[in-house]
Structure 1
Amino acid sequence: MNHFINTIAWATFPHQQQPMPVAALEQLARQYPYAPALQLLLAARLKETQDPGFAGQWQKTLLYFKDPLLLQYQFFAEQQRPASGIPPASAHDTEVQQADAEAGPDTSEAPIPIPGLKLEPLDTAKANLLFTPYYTVDYFASQGIQLSDDNNTGDRFGSQLKSFTSWLKEMRRLPEATSGIRFSIKNEAVIEKMAEKSLNGQNEETAAMAEVWAKQGNKAKAIEIYQKLSLLNPSKRAYFAAKIEHLKK
């Protein structure tokens, strides 16, 4: 009998060491007619003894199981399962594996050298910028547009372009013009006094007065007025600084 039948026989008769005779199985099958295991074991015993009553018992046994095809496959399966496709290891291979296991891991291999990073000192001569910052470059000059005061073409576009270029140059000098302005306690007192007079309408000076002085040729007086206005109006300090720089030219 195959492994499937042997398992069922051991589960049904755990204390039975020898195969039961056909007569004993037939008596148990009649005594317990609703036991599928007894019907299956009786059919297996009849097949083993080549009894002519096997065919009828087998058809009766199939009625006790839900899946007769699976039962037929397991019942008629060979006693030994087919060997797998992996060939058994030879004695030589076994000896080689045992020798490798006894030798242990090979730690004699030399470590792999890892190249380090080579840090070179920075050359100060090469560290200089290879380009000019954009804020120091004249935009129109970089585009190939050259403006000269000698070429008075009278063109409206040229005049606007010159005025815009001049404004850019003056704005570029603003940080230098305002960098020297420092406030102290004395200057703050002067500013407060000037602001008080301005609120009272005393000694009021405006940008228009400075322009009048500049047109009359008194640039020093115009610069003085612009300086006062710069102190009175911190938000317009850059504007008045540009005016002062224009008068100093």
Structure 2
Amino acid sequence: IDIKHCRYSYLLFAVSFSLVSGTRELQELIKPQKVEFHSLNFNNTLHWHLGRAAPGDIIYFVQYKKLLKSTPSLPLHRYGQSLWKNKEECWGIREDFCDLTHQTSDIREPYYGRVKSVSAGVHSDWNTSSRFTPWRETKIGPPSVNVTPRNKSIQLKLQAPNSPYTRRRGSKIPMTNYYDLLYRVFLINNMLNEKNKILAYEGTDKVVKIEDLKPEVSYCVVVTTYLPVLDRSSVYSSKKCTVPL
């Protein structure tokens, strides 16, 4: 009887160990990878990659938190110990991204995001992003550009990109409310090599005139937004072309 009991106990242990080991392996295989914030003009989205062997029935759960500053009522040793909050719209989703724009709207404050996955009743561990501070890390977009031909010149009207945040009356708040921006206007003479861009203007003006151009010759412009404080430039705007009068 003792021998049978020992064999039964061993078999039960082996089965239990195998189940636990298999579950733990699946937890690691489905755990989201490369969890990071992507941000353009303060549109802040948490992205992640599939686990190393993520099955088709996998779903994701997202949480975020804002780091707390030290105050008299919050001792220094509690710094960063705010509670994780569920992002309700990203609770049990199949997408590999989650919009946290309005949960990270204090743009000078640091945040974290984290993701876990579930498949076949097995929950992975959480995977947490690096610290994310929108004001320091967002990418700036190019301005919108309107081009009008003039006498031996072209006139540009530039408009800064908008943030996702709105004023009380509903209009979007431009990125110039948060940064001192410069515009860099590059001129392309289509009679020459298109890759040869000439810096024709750098400054803060919203209306720019490029003069001394040849009439009846096609010119194009592309414009970038530049942030001196962060030494960061946007990608080029879409190319706009015209022919001076």
TM-score normalized by the length of structure 2: 0.18
TM-score normalized by the length of structure 1: 0.18
Question: Which of the pair has the greater relative contact order for Cα pairs under 8 Å at 6+ separation?
Answer: 2
- Larger strand share, 1 or 2: 2
Structure with bigger gyration radius: 1
- Larger helix share, 1 or 2: 1
